[in-house]
C-alpha cells in the first residue's frame, strides 16, 4: 500500500533548509516541537512542502541525525590522522559536539527504532575508532595507561564532554574545572 506521492531530492536547497530548521527547533524547543508546521515556519516555506521532500516527520528527524553523524564521523577520521589525534578528538568533543542536540537524539532513540539504530551504529563506530587511536598513540609514545584502558578512556571522554556541555548550557558547573584539569593531565601524557 505504497503512496503515489513523489519526492524531491535530498540534496536540494529546500531540503537542506528543512534540516537546518529542524536542528534549530530541536535545540531551542526539543524534539516535541519538531512538527511540520513549526519546521516549515522556521525554514520560511509552507507546511505542505515538507512532505514533498520527506515522507513523514520521522524521516525528517532521521535525515537530520544522519547528516550530523556523517559530518562528525568525517571530522573524526580526519582527526585521528592528525599529529596529536587524542588532543584533536578531545577538542572536537569539547567544542564541536552540540550536547543539547545529542541529548534530544538519545532521548528520541529510547522510543524510536530508526533513530536508535543510527545512534547505536554511530556510537559503536566512533568509540572503536577513538579507542584504537588511543591504543596506538599510547603504544607509540610508551604511555602506560593502567589501570585505565583505551576503551575506558574513549568512553569517559565522550561521557564527560557530553555532561560537561549539557550542564554548562543550563548553568551547572559544579566540579567542571576539576574534571577538565584531570583530562588535561591525561592529555599531557600523550605529548
Minimum CB separation of residue 119 from DNA in Å reads 20
Pick from 87, 149, 187, 190: which binds its own copies (CB under 8 A)?
149
Phi, then psi, of 3 in degrees rounded to 5: -75, 155
Residue 75 engages DNA in binding (rule: CB under 7 A): no
Return the DSSP state at 43: H
Smallest separation (angstroms) from DNA to the CB of 156: 36
- Name which of residues 94 to 123 contact its own copies (CB under 8 A): 100, 103-104, 106-112, 116, 119-120, 123
Q: Which of residues 47-66 bind DNA (CB under 7 A)?
A: 47-49, 51-52, 55-58
Closest approach, Cβ 15 to its own copies, in A, equals 24
- How far out from the chain centre does Cα 155 lie? 14
Residue 36 in contact with DNA, rule: CB under 7 A: yes
Q: How far apart are the first and last CA of the chain?
A: 60
Is 111 a binding residue for DNA by CB under 7 A? The answer is no
61 binds, among its own copies, DNA, none (CB under 5 to 8 A by kind): none
* Beta carbons within 8 Å of 42's beta carbon, 6+ residues apart: 21, 22, 24, 25
Whether 18 and 42 have beta carbons less than 8 Å apart is answered as no
Q: Under the rule (CB under 7 A), what is the footprint of DNA?
A: 3-5, 8-9, 12-14, 33-38, 45-49, 51-52, 55-58
Amino acid at each position: 500500500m505504497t503512496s503515489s506521492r513523489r519526492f524531491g531530492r535530498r540534496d536540494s536547497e529546500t531540503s537542506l533548509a528543512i534540516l537546518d530548521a529542524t536542528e534549530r527547533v530541536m535545540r531551542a524547543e526539543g524534539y516535541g516541537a519538531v512538527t511540520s508546521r513549526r519546521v516549515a515556519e522556521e525554514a520560511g516555506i509552507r507546511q505542505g512542502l515538507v512532505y514533498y521532500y520527506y515522507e513523514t516527520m520521522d524521516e525528517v528527524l532521521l535525515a537530520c541525525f544522519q547528516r550530523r553523524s556523517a559530518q562528525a564521523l568525517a571530522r573524526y577520521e580526519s582527526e585521528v590522522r592528525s599529529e596529536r589525534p587524542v588532543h584533536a578528538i578531545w577538542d572536537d568533543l569539547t567544542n564541536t559536539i552540540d550536547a543539547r542536540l545529542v541529548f534530544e537524539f538519545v532521548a528520541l532513540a529510547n522510543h524510536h527504532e530508526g533513530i536508535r539504530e543510527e545512534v547505536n551504529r554511530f556510537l559503536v563506530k566512533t568509540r572503536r575508532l577513538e579507542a584504537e587511536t588511543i591504543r596506538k598513540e599510547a603504544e607509540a609514545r610508551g604511555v602506560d595507561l593502567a589501570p585505565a584502558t583505551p576503551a575506558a578512556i574513549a568512553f569517559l571522554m565522550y561521557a564527560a564532554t557530553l555532561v560537561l556541555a549539557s550542564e554548562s548550557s543550563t548553568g551547572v558547573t559544579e566540579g567542571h574545572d576539576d574534571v577538565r584539569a584531570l583530562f588535561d593531565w591525561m592529555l599531557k601524557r600523550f605529548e
